[in-house]
Amino acid sequence: MKKETTASETGRPVRYSQVQEPDYSQNSIDRKTDTLVYAIGGLGEIGKNMYCVEHDDEIIIIDCGVLFPEEELLGIDYVIPDYSYLVRNQSKIKALIITHGHEDHIGGIPFFLRSVHLKQIHAPRFAKALIEKKLEEHHLSKACKVIEIDGDSRVKTKYFNIGFFDTVHSIPDSLGVLINTPNGRIVETGDFKFDLTPVGKNSDYQKMAYIGQIGVTLLLSDSTNSSVPGFSISEKQVANAILDQIRRTPGRLLVSTFASNVNRLNQILMAAVACNRKVAVFGRSMENVLEIGRKTGNINIDDSSFITGNDLNTLPANRICIVCTGSQGEPMAALSRIANGTHKYLHIIPGDTVLFSSNPIPGNGVSVSAVINQLTRAGANVVTNSPLTSFHTTGHAPVEEQKLMLNLIKPKYFMPNHGEYKMLIQHSATAQETGVPEENCLICSNGDIVVMRNEECFVANERISTDAIYVDGNDASGLSTSVIKDRQILADSGLVAVIVTIDSRYNKILCRPSIVSRGFVYIKDSQTLLKEAELVVYDALKKKMQQRTTFGELKNCIRSSLEPFLFQKTNRNPIVIPVILNQKAAIAEIQAKTAKAKA
């Protein structure tokens, strides 16, 4: 019997359609015999990818990423998944598999290792180098061993037999994962695209087709570009476009791209060398990736082709190519500092050409436009990607390439992942076009459990807690939502501190309260308002101190009297911080009484 699940019935996002079979015991789980598939992160969002497959006393984890915060998460460096379920069940974890080396797939590893004891991580070659660098920076080099895997590797446990296949993405050594379980086969594609003329290793079409022929129960597939029609252009086409631009550029050329796109970086460097230019690289992440790329053999450029910032003034302009970070308008990245004139070595001079070998990530358009305007104002000729120039190509499969993956793997059930909710829905519709039944498309949220039983799948009634953890600095314990809320209030309405001096011996206010404002009102123009506020607090405290009271009650009295007054006058709710100063003699008397009571 087919049943449409609605948001009002579950309180969770609407699932496309799902089949309820009478023998599933109302979608309950048998944790001894069923295989469970769930996402700790990565569903309904672009980031913090972490997918788990569990059977009895074994858990396999695929990827461990971070999500970069939106602007409203003030002061937050990363968002990571809530690892509490995995912490409670860490004795079951048998393998952490990494598909590739992007931050949304490996960035959470240092935080995860602080919560969970893990013996080893399995990662492809380039991702392995990035992870080891990351663990070294976090002083966790000895916490876990990183084992290199490739398309021919195997990882075996009591219940799982795991294999891999090569895919193409915007970073070298990307893998898809095949997991053989007691209840069927699972394929997780990782991030992928199909490029018939790639730079580097090609996708293993033969192995994917073979996997599809032997039968796949459940496919989890990258949904990032599920609304983008057609096919993506080849990385070779981008390389040719960049080479042509370098040849045509008369003066200095600055190229900004994603630091993680090693193949693109290699193509830029090779094109610059072919055009008899020396290369300077700026940006910490770009420098790290260049170092790792040269160690792994993904970048083969001789030392003599590189120059430092101090050498820029020793060469003619047409002999220089600068590669830097900042293609997304990040305020502290190299290109932003170059644009606003604060870079240590490099300033824009009229006649410079700046090439953006990237597209703005959704949400970054305003920041990128601001940097472009600054560069143009300084006299640079700014060249961006467009359908006519082809300076960038995506690393994620558009619709036609998603169809190719679906036709190669031929899954019985389909669970789109790595995407916002709309992307998951659109990918599900694409799967139906290729022949996956509508009722076999499972649109899930983080924490939903897909149960595999005898090569059939359904979504269980149980869920796993998957709250987002906000990381400020390196503290993996995270910040509470109340802290984020306080930061938002401070940003919107500012702060008001109320300083009150009392003598607790006589329950008396010694002088009228003093109010200090930061980010709330301009003090010079608001003296009348602040004087009125002081009187409101003073009157409230006098009434309160006519009877015995406590410091906590006095603070509550200040807030409860001042907050409504300020909102009435300004229609704003600043954070009110009461500061109560007690007479020195009164403090001495309190300390003496406390010491006597202890004695």
CA distance 319 to 275: 8
Cβ(323)–Cβ(282) below 8 Å: yes
Is residue 55 annotated as a catalytic residue, yes or no?
Answer: no
Q: Identify the active-site residue in 104, 173, 222, 448.
A: 222
Q: Is 80 helix (H, G, I), strand (E, B) or coil?
A: strand
CA distance 539 to 552: 18
Q: Identify the active-site residue in 392, 396, 418, 427.
A: 396
- Which stretches of 386-544 are assigned E, i.e. beta strand? 411-417, 448-453, 456-463, 468-471, 495-503, 508-509, 514-518
* Ramachandran angles phi, psi of 227, nearest 5°: -105, 5
AA letter at 561: S
Is residue 139 annotated as a catalytic residue, yes or no?
Answer: no
CA distance 131 to 141: 9
CA distance 167 to 190: 8
State the number of CA atoms in the 13 A half-sphere of 564 facing the CB. Answer: 8
For the CA atoms of 253, 254, 257, 262, what is the dihedral angle to 10 degrees?
70
Cβ(502)–Cβ(509) below 8 Å: yes
- Token digits of residue 94: 């048998």
- Residues in Cβ contact with 426 at an 8 Å cutoff, skipping those fewer than 6 apart: 223, 226, 227
* Ramachandran angles phi, psi of 582, nearest 5°: -100, 145
Buried b (16+ CB within 10 A) or exposed e, 172-185: bbbbbbbbebebbb
Cβ(194)–Cβ(233) below 8 Å: no
AA letter at 420: E
**Which residue's structure tokens are 């606003």?**
340
- Token digits of residue 409: 């793997």
Cβ(65)–Cβ(103) below 8 Å: yes
CA distance 591 to 259: 60
Active site residues: 222, 396
